[in-house]
Chain A
Amino acid sequence: MSDFISVVVSLPSVVQRGIFLGILTAVATSLLGVTLVLKRFSMIGDGLSHVAFGAMSIALVLGLAPLTFAIPVVVLCAFLLMHISRKSKMGGDSAIALLSSTALAVGIASASLVGGVNTNVNDYMFGSIVAISKSDLYLCVPVLTAVIVLFVLLYNRIFAVTFDEGFAKVSGVKTEVYNMIIAILTALTVVIGMRIMGTLLISGLIIFPALSSMRIFRSYKAVIISSVTVSVLCFIGGTLLSILFETPVGASIVLANAFVFAIFTIIGKTTK
């Protein structure tokens, strides 16, 4: 850890910003990931990140601030996805697939209008640790902090709604509101996280820590704690790998998560 800190201190401030925001994102995604995986919404992160890509590409064409434009669009789509998966005869996975491919098509078509896949678009697709500007940081840190604080404060309610929505409803909990809160928090985290992880890899940061932790741990609290720890350590490990081997940061972090998942699966099977 001390080696990591000394490496970070020696890095340019733009990279430090990326690492700081990345760690916050890793905490937020891992908290939400447990709920999303357990509610069988693992792919919502993937779908929303494609929507964010489409929105950011449109923002580039229109000359708008990408994050400021993308956040409300993605939140709106998160509402839409939740609504379709609950009320429509079309399943949640089909809705995500439809929205995902449409948004990606919109993004690619918009990108072609501004001269094809340039550096900005490439960053959105595959992520970049140096893509975070100071103004991004001022917007993202309060949002991510709010996501984490809200999750901790609503911990017991989120557990109850995730474990058994019918029971929670009978007990007087407005489950639709909590589902919407989860959707909004996920949308916000995805938009911010995809700047570092990339559209194609942000869902890895959401689902891997939760799935890895569930290989070993069987209590909700242990899964949450393990998930946050795994997520942050994999982010740090992946970033170090990325710096050492000059590989894309998003891919390196997902590879670190995949490695931990394999190890946890083996441990889980041998200790059963």
Chain B
Amino acid sequence: MENNANKTILSAENLCVRYTSAKDAVRNASFKVENGDFLLIVGRNGSGKSTLLKGILGLVRPYDGKISFPDGRMAKKIGYLPQQSTIAQDFPATVTEVVLSGFVGKKGIFSFYSARDRKKAADIISYLGLEKISHKHFSNLSGGEKQRVLLARALVSATDCDVCTHKCCACHDETFCHTSGLIVLDEPSNGLDPIANRKLHSTLHSLRTEKGMTVIMVSHQVDSALEYATKVLHMDTEMLFFGSKEDYLKTELSGLLIGRREGNE
């Protein structure tokens, strides 16, 4: 395997995003994400976390600064797990149909799924332990199961063995090419019970450590997410902190955020 550790895959410089009003949603955010990082983005409600994520995903255009993917391929290989509230919970679809839709950006406009696509989807379903529910209907699943199905779809979208065929690496892993995966998650813990939440974080950790994937996650469940994060970005419109988890835990900011949660509980 090629060693891709410390390779910058995403770089933001003085990123500024605003919607229609003159008020900035994100101001002067500068950070770098390296291959294999688990970046946790935290902050109070309305602090610009989700807007920053939208900037990374290309859903909003920054009015100043820039986001770049030094490895050009990465821009096309982001697996996105949106907030569940954006998806109709009664949508008629099987687990397999949802997971296969992760290929949508990789296929031609008029194309259908190939046997290879179906095998890759089945492999990912199997990796996430979803075989038993693969023929179940999405609307009948629990919140935790739905989240794992959406994670499987994100993995389908985020991994591709094209990199291997381009001879940039020799992992020979058609399902998880270690150089290509970036998963972006927007508050995936919303609505999950603590067990499902811990399971999700643990899976993300495995994907990072075993498969070499990179994770960027916005979360309010700071305690459990911090256990697995390697880097933290604390937002309050401006970037208040960006650095390693260890350094973050030494700051007053972290004490305030974690302390407030404990206080509520």
Q: For B78, B104, B140, B153, which residue has the most chain A Cβ atoms within 10 angstroms?
A: B104
Partner of A163, one of B91, B111, B184: B91
- Which residues 149-171 of B sit at the A interface, judged by CB distance below 8 A? 153-154, 157
CB distance from A75 to the nearest CB of B (A): 21
Q: Is the interface of A mostly helix, strand, loop or mixed?
A: helix
Decide: A219 and B97 in contact? CB cutoff 8 A. yes
| B242 contacts across to A, CB distance below 8 A | none
- Contacts known (A164-B86, A167-B80); A156 close to B113, Cβ less than 8 A: yes
Q: Which residues of A contact B140 (CB under 8 A)?
A: 218
Chain A 107-122 interface mask (CB, 8 Å, partner B; 1/0): 0000000000000000
**Partner pick for A156 among B59, B104, B157, CB 8 A cutoff:** B104
Q: Which of B59, B82, B101 contacts A160 (CB 8 A)?
A: B101
B259 within 8 Å of A by Cβ? no
Q: Which residues of B contact A214 (CB under 8 A)?
A: 92
Is residue B66 contacting chain A, with contact meaning CB distance below 8 A?
no
Please judge, given known A-B contacts A38-B88, A156-B112, A214-B92, whether A220 and B105 are in contact too, CB under 8 Å: no
A69 within 8 A of B: no
Q: B98, A163: Cβ atoms under 8 Å?
A: yes
- Would you mind naming 23 contact pairs between A and B with Cβ atoms under 8 Å apart? A153-B110, A154-B110, A156-B100, A156-B104, A156-B111, A160-B104, A163-B91, A163-B93, A164-B86, A167-B154, A167-B157, A168-B101, A170-B157, A171-B80, A171-B102, A171-B106, A171-B157, A172-B105, A218-B92, A218-B137, A219-B92, A219-B93, A220-B97
The 9 closest A-B pairs by CB, nearest first: A171-B105, A218-B137, A160-B104, A172-B105, A170-B80, A160-B101, A153-B110, A219-B94, A223-B92
13 other contacts beyond A160-B104, A164-B101, A169-B59, with CB at 8 A cut-off? A156-B111, A157-B104, A159-B97, A162-B91, A163-B101, A167-B153, A170-B59, A170-B78, A171-B80, A171-B157, A173-B105, A219-B94, A219-B137
